[in-house]
Amino acid sequence: MSNWTLKGKRVLITGATKGIGLAAAREMLALGAELCINSRSQEDIDQLIEELQTDEQQVTGFAADLSDPKERERLHQMVSNSWDRLDVLVNNVGMNIRKPFDEYSPQEYRQIFETNLFSALVLTQQLFPRLKGGKGASVINVASVAGLVDVRSGAIYGMTKAAMLQMTRHLAVEWAPHGIRVNAVSPWYTRTPLAEPVLQQPERLELILQRTPLNRIAEAEEVAAAIAFLAMDKASYITGQNLVTDGGMTVSGL
């Protein structure tokens, strides 16, 4: 199993100090990657770097609120100034506001789109030159089963994730000549701060478990393992795919 590794890979993970992003950071570091982590809080980044960094493995991080176009550009510049190439980009940062469609304000739905979709779109485009120089480069978009079916998580959230999946399919074809693979991972409900308000509702939790053949909530580490696999050279013939990590929910009938 020694060749199941990310050793030598330079990896940027957005939204990396909580939930799936944090689990992905730990997983990829354990597999030998050189990490650059992002979140809105420099304090959170500094704490995580102190936890993760070793004498053998370097971890860097840059604070940026990726819902802000100026902050996205700043992150792009900092990464480009630090690395002459990028091997793996994990577009993980995301947020949600759960409410009926007719109750969203323009500010709210723009915030969700800016955070979930435009951050991934713009950062991926900006870092294209670095990815072209990468070693077996790949982009992994953390989408959601909400982009495939309605899961009562709010129309706007599902719209952003569906668009992310289409971006994945298109770029997999367009960027294949450059040797860049583009894939997505779509989790179902996972134990993260984003999902916790829903999982604390007993009736909602029971409904989620009833719809899940494996009859449990995913752990962030399980989603992180899927992300890490797609980043490996072991997945070198996989592109344009959406790895659904949902305990069987989307294929369950009766």
Which of 104, 157, 189, 237 is flagged as catalytic? Answer: 157
In this structure, the number of other CB atoms found within 10 A of the CB of residue 109 comes to 18
Q: Using one digit for the tens of pLDDT, what is the confidence trace for 131-159?
A: 999 999 999 999 999 999 999 889 999 99
Residue type, 115: T
Is it the case that residue 1 has pLDDT exceeding 80? no
In this structure, the number of other CB atoms found within 10 A of the CB of residue 102 comes to 6
Q: Which one, of 253, 235, 252, lies nearest residue 188 by Cα?
A: 252
Q: Do the beta carbons of residue 56 and residue 33 sit within 8 Å? A: no
Query: What are the structure tokens assigned to 224, written together?
Result: 């992180």
Distance, C-alpha 209 to centroid of its chain: 24
Domains and CATH numbers, the chain: 10-191+219-241 (3.40.50.720)
Q: Which one, of 31, 29, 78, 66, lies nearest residue 49 by Cα?
A: 29
Return the bridge partners of 184, or none. Answer: 141, 242
Distance from C-alpha of 121 to C-alpha of 51, rounded to nearest angstrom: 30
Q: Using one digit for the tens of pLDDT, what is the confidence trace for 198-237?
A: 999 999 999 999 999 999 999 999 999 999 999 999 999 9
Is it the case that residue 2 has pLDDT exceeding 80? no
Stated pTM of the model: 0.96
- Classify the phi-psi angles of 164: left when phi > 0, otherwise alpha if psi is within -120 to 50, otherwise beta: alpha
Token pair 């604390």 is at which residue? 200
Q: Which one, of 123, 164, 126, lies nearest residue 14 by Cα?
A: 123
The yes-or-no answer on residue 157 being catalytic is yes
Q: Residues, the chain, total?
A: 254
Q: Using one digit for the tens of pLDDT, what is the confidence trace for 59-116?
A: 999 999 999 999 999 999 999 999 999 999 999 999 999 999 999 999 999 999 999 9
| Residue 35, H or E segment | strand 34-39
Token pair 């799936």 is at which residue? 20
For 82-111, the three-class secondary structure string (H helix, E strand, C coil) is: HCCCCCEEEECCCCCCCCCHHHCCHHHHHH
Taking only Cα atoms into account, the Rg of the chain, rounded to an integer number of angstroms, comes to: 17
